[in-house]
Amino acid sequence: MIKSIQELEEIRKKALEELEFRKQQGEGIRVVVGMATCGIAAGARPVMLKFVEEIQKRNLKNVTVVQTGCIGLCKYEPIVEVYEPNKEKVTYVKMTPEKVLKVVAEHLVNGKPVYEYTIGYEENKEANN
């Protein structure tokens, strides 16, 4: 609980510094979690919380996690889209908190998408069954 105007000013100052840092770093990476009813029912909330936790734990200041409504592919929920400046969007499907660990380590930290969690991989798997 905020106890004084001074404390509120400190919080504001810190938030503005982080925002300025992100602007200087360019657009940064955006992680978008589908949080419509279908996504939430399939487990999107723990997935989003795990992304936030891991990104904070690793102090990845160039990464933001946001939520969106329906992405339109309910059978693949929970869905996470990763947007990086000047790169093609990567869509991860059927995500779990355990899969988040690998996506953060390999994709967000090392720049290598985890292909076996993507929609392209899942569609190829379905086509071959």
Is 98 among the domain residues? yes
pLDDT of residue 72: 85
Question: Looking at the whole model, is its pTM more than 0.85?
Answer: no
Q: What is the domain range of residue 65? A: 27-126
Is 5 among the domain residues? no
pLDDT of residue 21: 59
Question: pLDDT tier at 90 (50, 70, 90 boundaries)?
Answer: very high
Question: pLDDT tier at 122 (50, 70, 90 boundaries)?
Answer: confident
Q: What is the 3-state secondary structure (H, E, C) of 25-52?
A: CCCCEEEEEECCHHHHHHCHHHHHHHHH
Is 4 among the domain residues? no
What's the average model confidence in pLDDT over 25-44? Answer: 87
Is 17 among the domain residues? no
Give me the CATH number covering residue 118.
3.40.30.10
* Residue 63 vs residue 11, higher pLDDT: 63
Question: pLDDT tier at 2 (50, 70, 90 boundaries)?
Answer: low
- How many structural domains does the chain have? 1
pLDDT of residue 84: 92
